[in-house]
Amino acid sequence: MDDFSEVQRQQFNPDQLKKSFSGVETVERNYSQALQDIFVLTMLNGKQNGTYVEIGGAHPTNINNTYLLEKDFNWTGISFEINADLANYYNSQRSNQCVCTDATQVNYSEVFEENNLPNQIDYLQVDIDPSYQSLASLKKIDLETYRFSVITFETDAYQGSIGVMEESRDIFQRHNYQLVASNVNNCGHAFEDWYVDPNIVTEDIWTALQSDNMESSQILHS
């Protein structure tokens, strides 16, 4: 999570979404910093009972990409957070588990198996600062065995992390992911790439949001 203030949290407007989704009328607000939760729900048409892996748990509700999924759409998953205080607070506020650990050292296949996660997981968030640690964590995941329907990956390109951006894109391309929104902006900062598994998300859905170097609110709203 980047050091943007809560004032900079992008707000979603259900009446102006380019692509609506099932259950949108029940969503009172988004909790993500840059509408990542709304992007996930849009790509998966408001899927109920989905699964997620959240690398970089941070705060359990404020500027969090999975809280809405868990709270309103009954998703289950697992989070990883290196800060013990944040991990403990997360576990006191959320139903799903947050593991206090260095995400760059996790045996993800072992953890996924222990937690009965399917081979096709609905959402992967990779968001650790600095961004080279996001890349290191990504490399620990067995992408041949586990696939993810939607991915948000923090590159922090605005900080000059071009190597992280280029290498992560190469990894995702080699594993046949579709880059939907490149250089997603929040308040003028290009900080993330958003992907889908084109075997799961149909072309008519992801092409509606295809973009480069745009504010997240502009990507999702007309």
Q: Is 135 exposed, middle or buried (0-12, 13-18, 19+ CB in 10 A)?
A: buried
State pTM to two decimals: 0.96
122 within some domain: yes
43 within some domain: yes
199 within some domain: yes
71 within some domain: yes
pLDDT, the chain, mean: 95
156: tokens are 């922090």
22 within some domain: yes
39 within some domain: yes
- The pLDDT of residue 2 is 52
The count of domains in the chain is 1
Instruction: Report the percent of the chain where pLDDT is more than 70.
Output: 96
Question: Domain range for residue 82?
Answer: 6-220
pLDDT band at 8 (very low <50, low <70, confident <90, very high): low
One-letter amino acid for residue 137 of the chain: S
1 within some domain: no
What CATH number does residue 128 fall under? 3.40.50.150
Answer whether 23's CB lies under 8 Å from 93's CB: no
Nearest C-alpha neighbor of 178 from the set 145, 157, 209, 154:
209
59 within some domain: yes
DSSP type of residue 76: E
